[in-house]
Amino acid sequence: MTTIALAGNPNSGKTTMFNDITGSSQYVGNWPGVTVEKKEGRLKGNKDIVIQDLPGIYSLSPYSPEEAVARNYLFNERPDLVIDIVDASNIERNLYLTSQLLEADLPMAVALNMIDAAKKRNIKIDANRLGELLGCPVIETSAIKSQGTREAVARAIELASSGDRAKPPVFSDGLERVLREISDLIRDAVGDGNLRWYAIQVFERDAEAAKTLKLSADIAGEIEKRIAAFEAEADDDSESIVTNERYLFVEKLVSETVVFDTNEKLTPSDKIDRIVTNRILALPIFLAVMFLVYFLSISTVGTLLTDWVNDVLFGEWVPGVVKSALVAIGCADWLQRLILDGIVAGVGAVLGFVPQMMVLFLCLAFLEDCGYMARIAFIMDRIFRRFGLSGKSFIPILIGTGCGVPGIMASRTIESDADRRMTVITTTFIPCGAKLPIIALISGALFSNSALIGYSAYVAGIAAIIVSGIVLKKTKLFAGEASPFVMELPAYHLPTVKGVLVHMWDRAKAFIKKAGTIILLATIGVWFLSSFDWHLRMTATEDSILADIGRAIAPVFSPLGWGEWKAAVAAITGLIAKENVVGTFGILYGYEEVAETGVEYWGQLQAAFTKLAGYSLLIFNLLCAPCFAAIGAVRREMMSAKWTWFAIGYQTALAYAASLMIYQFGSLFSGGGFTAGTAVACVLLALLLFLLFKRPYRAKIEARAGDPRRIDAV
Ligand code: BGO
């Protein structure tokens, strides 16, 4: 068994190469963080070769969690060889990682990927000469066109059997001298490990290397003396010294092997970006694009289909056919009710929104595949940064528009613990696919399918993220500089129909699968609890177990305008999966109606909720704690029960406060008079303004012996 690891910068085409050579269909995206965990596959045509797709990294210095994943894999599990995927159209930046892989003395081959894009830009690379300078095979590839990829693997395999090693970069004389001295001091501790690699790490004061080597205090002190002396001589810190040397090495490689087109003109992408990412126009364009997305999915195209599915398919046909079939076979009354009033009404209510969801996913897939979504992250970075937040936090949010779980996982690309936690807490504020049925239900039943409702839900999600960011950043728990955000903006391209449909289906299939599993089970549970009393006798909904439970919790939601027990129950079942809010409404408000007369239940909703109460209900369900699957993801990413509870508590408190303010101020301005609820809303607003405008928690960098980077509170 031979293991080949694919390593490279984010967006260099690793996953595309992985898919091409293994025949898998891992998600290819144009933003960093798509591969946050390594993925394994077998080479097409030779199952003895294992291919590992590592997360994209800019360096082997583990600043971010995915860099740590990649580095740990390379050093602890030591693949038989590494294919370093270099984006040929961005060769200079990509070769920095190559220089570190050379230092690590891993048997490797270089795939000069995206050679098609480099050629288009008239960048000429002498791959043979580059191979000579690096001491390893360099193969031109275009993973997207499946060109050169098999050769890259074949050459890498040849290399593994030959045992040849690449040439580590040679640094300037002064640095080489100190590295030799350090090598002599750590030789025993390294044993048969890679002496040069450790010497460089120790020189850079890499904490991981120090931990592994367990140097005695004497030796550590001796090494520190030499590093400090060299730093004084070079007037720079050790890490920067090595970084500069690596860049010098890369510069030399590039000057000898690459010729750039000095007359390169603005590409069509650059021209589009002048408008789309323009400082003034970028935000209005983004807001207009998202309005169009919700207009198409909630108000126009999606609605036509959803109306038919809700009114005709699940309103008449399915209940009609199922009922006739059940009557024909003489099915017991209770089972008929379970199937019609429970499963058909509940699951049908959720599935009714599939067309709208498909249109939403189609629009998002188009925006992503043409390259616009990557620009949104870039635009949001500029906005977020003003509030001390990073655009890096926006990538999980973009991913979270499909499903919160991968969104939460994508937060791993954020180096700073504080920023990462904050992103995990706020990512699910953005409406995910599962929340779309709630948006579509409220907008359809109470607001005549207005696109503004769906759009406002999206804007409310972003507002909640920004407000939370500002407020949390000012606290001791989350204070600190925003993580740096580096991102390659891919050239725009016309998405393929297949690509868009595959991305749309990727998102939609999870939803349909859920409808057939977790939502089905939940609707059975809700039907049971809403059909039986505490003595397990079948009864009217109003006398059921669920009604009693609902009435016990409903008063909590009265100040939000929907103290109705059915709505309270729906908010709770939404924790299992957000679609359950709609499923529960389908059962509780559609009870008997669907089965008996085929009348859809929106009329009942109109009677039960004012527009204001409905909107408050929508906002609460959008912002409150996410579904169990997402809570599980929060728990995994936080690696702490305390932080998970903090996230749930914060999200629910924010949702409650936002809904309360919406309902109470809305009631006040629509002539409802000043009540105790309005007073509470005023206090909450004052608190919010105070938190938004209070002075940030200040931290200062205090130099301390042995720990110069320690941050202490003032
Ligand atoms: C998008 N040539 C060209 N031209 N592009 C390539 C090649 C190649 O050889 N190989 C990959 N790409 P990942 P990481 C995209 O997805 O494999 C493209 O992070 C887009 N997507 O198609 O994910 C590949 O695993 C919308 O581009 O890289 C992908 O290393 C607009 O490089 C990107 C433009 O590939 C990253 C590009 C929705």
Which atom from ligand 1 is nearest to the alpha carbon of 32? 19
Q: What distance in angstroms lies between residue 374's CA and the mean position of ligand 1's atoms?
A: 12
Question: What is the arithmetic mean of pLDDT over 287-292?
Answer: 92
In the predicted structure, residue 601 carries a pLDDT above the cut 80 = no
Q: Which residue lies with its CA nearest to atom 22 of ligand 1? A: 144
Q: Which residue lies with its CA nearest to atom 18 of ligand 1? A: 13
**Residue 688 binned pLDDT confidence (cut-offs 50, 70, 90):** very high
In the predicted structure, residue 690 carries a pLDDT above the cut 70 = yes
In the predicted structure, residue 254 carries a pLDDT above the cut 60 = yes
Percent of the chain residues topping a pLDDT of 70:
93
**Amino acid found at 590:** G
Ranges assigned E (strand) in 69-196: 81-87, 108-113, 124-125, 138-140
First to last CA, the chain: 56
The whole-number pLDDT of residue 57 equals 84
* pLDDT tens, position by position, 112-156: 999 998 998 889 999 999 999 999 999 999 999 999 999 999 988
Structure tokens at 324: 């006739």
Between CA 33 and CA 55 the distance in angstroms is: 7
Between CA 562 and CA 109 the distance in angstroms is: 63
Question: What CATH number has the domain spanning 2-162?
Answer: 3.40.50.300
Q: Determine contact, residues 257/130, Cβ cutoff 8 Å.
A: yes
Q: What is the CA radius of gyration of the chain?
A: 29
Q: Give the up-direction half-sphere exposure of residue 429: CA atoms within 13 A in the CB hemisphere.
A: 28
Residue with the bigger pLDDT between 332 and 506: it is 332
Strands 39-43 and 46-53: antiparallel
The SS3 of residue 7 is strand
For 173-259, the fitting CATH number among 1.10.10.10, 1.10.3470.10, 1.10.287.1770, 3.40.30.10 is: 1.10.287.1770
In the predicted structure, residue 263 carries a pLDDT above the cut 50 = yes
Q: Determine contact, residues 424/65, Cβ cutoff 8 Å.
A: no
Q: Which residue lies with its CA nearest to atom 19 of ligand 1? A: 11
Helices and strands in the chain: count of H runs, count of E runs: 35, 10
Q: Which of 598, 595, 572 is nearest to 583 (CA)?
A: 572
Which atom from ligand 1 is nearest to the alpha carbon of 18? 17
Looking at the chain, the domain(s) classified CATH 1.10.287.1770 span: 173-259
Which atom from ligand 1 is nearest to the alpha carbon of 8? 30
Q: What distance in angstroms lies between residue 156's CA and the mean position of ligand 1's atoms?
A: 22
Q: What distance in angstroms lies between residue 264's CA and the mean position of ligand 1's atoms?
A: 22
Q: What distance in angstroms lies between residue 31's CA and the mean position of ligand 1's atoms?
A: 9
- Name the residue of 14, 15, 17, 30 to mutate for ligand 1: max ligand atoms within 8 A of Cβ: 30
Q: What distance in angstroms lies between residue 79's CA and the mean position of ligand 1's atoms?
A: 25
Q: Which residue lies with its CA nearest to atom 35 of ligand 1? A: 13
Q: Which residues line ligand 1 (CB under 6 A)?
A: 8, 10-16, 28-30, 34-35, 56, 113-114, 116-117, 142-144, 368-369, 371, 490, 493
Q: What distance in angstroms lies between residue 29's CA and the mean position of ligand 1's atoms?
A: 7
Between CA 513 and CA 94 the distance in angstroms is: 40
Q: What distance in angstroms lies between residue 28's CA and the mean position of ligand 1's atoms?
A: 7
* pLDDT tens, position by position, 162-209: 777 788 899 999 999 999 999 999 999 998 888 999 999 999 998 888
Which atom from ligand 1 is nearest to the alpha carbon of 29? 16
Q: Determine contact, residues 346/523, Cβ cutoff 8 Å.
A: yes
Q: What distance in angstroms lies between residue 361's CA and the mean position of ligand 1's atoms?
A: 20
In the predicted structure, residue 680 carries a pLDDT above the cut 50 = yes
Q: What distance in angstroms lies between residue 375's CA and the mean position of ligand 1's atoms?
A: 15
Q: Provide the whole-model pTM.
A: 0.71
In the predicted structure, residue 460 carries a pLDDT above the cut 90 = yes
Looking at the chain, the domain(s) classified CATH 3.40.50.300 span: 2-162
Q: Which residue lies with its CA nearest to atom 24 of ligand 1? A: 13
* pLDDT tens, position by position, 54-79: 888 888 876 666 677 788 888 888 88
The whole-number pLDDT of residue 492 equals 86
Residue with the bigger pLDDT between 393 and 231: it is 231
